[in-house]
């Protein structure tokens, strides 16, 4: 049985005991799908899998997405064809939450500007008003979404003395009780958040949820952080907001059209930009591989997937 491993995942594959009945075919990133006899594909979030691609894989039984987000896969189309789609929830939650805090701190304490000053040789010494940031204590962490990653980010908020508010379509009363998080209407959340962090999956209901209207509702001192999906934000509107001082700054790990990062964003001093590294820890990436591979082996062996979506 042929399993397509699409993308540079050999380091993980080398550490995997591949059962003798499985033949792995490596598909370089960006290369078109050719192995029509594959029963499974391990795919990265950079590979779009829609009707046209699935037409080339008539024997496919499982798409194991090497990511928790699966907006790159047409899940409805896969379902129609009886193809199981799986993702990698849980194993990257802590890594992504940690990176979210790294961005929050990097923006509020202006780490890239400080690092550039220190590294560049232009620093003339300690000064009372040099590189002043803003503290987190007593401020409101506003979360869009209440999934695993949002809740993991929230778990770290008390350590910084922050209060937690959130919006998601479904309220989570149990979590509210244990975390102290307060549910707010979306517009209200935008207006009260000092740090607004996005943790929604990307889909028709969330695309560009942070548009000009939303940005205008935010506090002038607020910071926007996005470690979820770039498509949640209208990037042109964000540039206008940052240039116009509608908000203090932004920390971004994801972009609407990766790997393109709008030039107008790249020149702004009040944004911290990272190249989609939310899950980039050794532990998380190994966990993602293990889970994706387990899903492949289970489904082609006739068992239920461990982490199916949809």
- 279 near ligand GLV (CB under 6 A): yes
Closer by beta carbon to ligand GLV, 84 or else 226:
226
Based on the residue annotation, tell me whether 212 is a catalytic residue of this protein: no
Q: Under DSSP, is residue 203 helix (H, G, I), strand (E, B) or coil?
A: coil
> How many contiguous H segments (helices) and E segments (strands) does the chain have?
12, 12
| Nearest-angstrom CA–CA distance, 181 and 175 | 7
Kind and range of the H or E element at 38?
A: strand 38-43
Binding mask 259-278 for ligand GLV (x = CB under 6 A): -------------------x
Q: C-beta of 137: minimal distance to ligand GLV in Å?
A: 26
First CA to last CA distance, the chain: 25
Exposed, middle or buried, 104 (CB in 10 Å: 0-12/13-18/19+)? buried
Closer by beta carbon to ligand GLV, 7 or else 278:
278
Q: C-beta of 221: minimal distance to ligand GLV in Å?
A: 27
Binding mask 33-52 for ligand GLV (x = CB under 6 A): ------------x-------
Based on the residue annotation, tell me whether 48 is a catalytic residue of this protein: no
- 89 near ligand GLV (CB under 6 A): yes
Q: How many other C-beta atoms are found inside a 10 Å radius of the C-beta of residue 266? A: 9
Report strand pairing: 2-6 vs 38-43.
parallel
Size, binding site for ligand GLV by CB under 6 A? 14
Alpha helices (H) in 156-276, listed in sequence order: 173-179, 186-192, 212-217, 235-244, 263-266
Chain-centre distance for alpha carbon 155? 18
Closer by beta carbon to ligand GLV, 92 or else 242:
92
- 69 near ligand GLV (CB under 6 A): yes
Closer by beta carbon to ligand GLV, 44 or else 134:
44
- 93 near ligand GLV (CB under 6 A): yes
Please tell me which residue in 148, 155, 208, 276 is annotated as part of the active site. Answer: 276
Please tell me which residue in 110, 139, 229, 248 is annotated as part of the active site. Answer: 229
Q: C-beta of 56: minimal distance to ligand GLV in Å?
A: 24
Chain-centre distance for alpha carbon 90? 13
Please tell me which residue in 77, 258, 294, 306 is annotated as part of the active site. Answer: 258
Exposed, middle or buried, 17 (CB in 10 Å: 0-12/13-18/19+)? exposed
Kindly indicate which of the ranges 67-75, 181-189, 208-216, 297-305 contains the residues binding ligand GLV, using the contact rule CB under 6 A. Answer: 67-75
Helix axes 282-300, 93-108, angle to 10 degrees: 150
Residue 175's nearest CA partner among 162, 165, 188, 186 is 165
> Which residues are registered as beta bridge partners of 140?
163
Q: C-beta of 199: minimal distance to ligand GLV in Å?
A: 5
Binding mask 119-148 for ligand GLV (x = CB under 6 A): ----------------------------xx
Q: Which of residues 182-241 bind ligand GLV (CB under 6 A)?
A: 199
Closer by beta carbon to ligand GLV, 140 or else 149:
149
Based on the residue annotation, tell me whether 276 is a catalytic residue of this protein: yes
Q: How many other C-beta atoms are found inside a 10 Å radius of the C-beta of residue 223? A: 27
CA contacts within 13 A on the Cβ side of 134: 17
Q: In the complex, which residues of this chain contact ligand GLV (CB under 6 A)? A: 45, 67-69, 89, 92-93, 147-150, 199, 278-279
Residue numbers annotated as active site? 229, 258, 276
């Amino acid at each position: 049985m042929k399993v397509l491993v699409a993308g540079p995942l050999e380091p993980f594959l080398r550490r995997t005991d591949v059962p003798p009945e499985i033949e792995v075919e490596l598909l370089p990133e960006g290369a078109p799908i050719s192995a029509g006899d594959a029963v499974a594909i391990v795919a990265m979030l950079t590979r779009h899998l829609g009707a046209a691609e699935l037409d080339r894989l008539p024997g496919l039984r499982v798409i194991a997405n090497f990511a928790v987000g699966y907006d790159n896969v047409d899940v409805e189309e896969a379902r129609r064809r009886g193809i199981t789609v799986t993702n990698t929830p849980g194993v990257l939650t802590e890594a992504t939450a940690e990176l979210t805090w790294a961005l929050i701190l990097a923006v509020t304490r202006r780490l890239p500007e400080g690092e550039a000053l220190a590294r560049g040789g232009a620093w003339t010494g300690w000064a009372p008003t040099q590189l002043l940031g803003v503290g987190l204590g007593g401020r409101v962490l506003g979360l869009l979404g209440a999934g695993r990653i949002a809740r993991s980010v929230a778990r770290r908020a008390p350590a910084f003395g922050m209060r937690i508010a959130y919006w998601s379509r479904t309220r989570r009363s149990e979590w509210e009780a244990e975390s102290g998080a307060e549910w707010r209407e979306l517009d209200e959340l935008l207006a009260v958040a000092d740090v607004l962090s996005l943790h929604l999956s990307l889909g028709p209901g969330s695309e560009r949820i942070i548009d000009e209207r939303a940005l205008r509702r935010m506090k002038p001192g607020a910071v926007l952080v996005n470690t979820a999906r770039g498509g949640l934000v209208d990037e042109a509107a964000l540039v206008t907001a940052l240039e116009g001082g509608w908000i203090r700054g932004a920390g971004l790990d994801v972009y609407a059209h990766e790997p393109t990062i709008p030039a107008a964003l790249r020149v702004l001093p009040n944004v911290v930009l990272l190249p989609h590294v939310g899950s980039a820890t050794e532990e998380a990436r190994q966990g993602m591989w293990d889970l994706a591979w387990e899903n492949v082996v289970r489904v082609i062996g006739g068992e239920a997937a461990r982490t199916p979506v949809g």
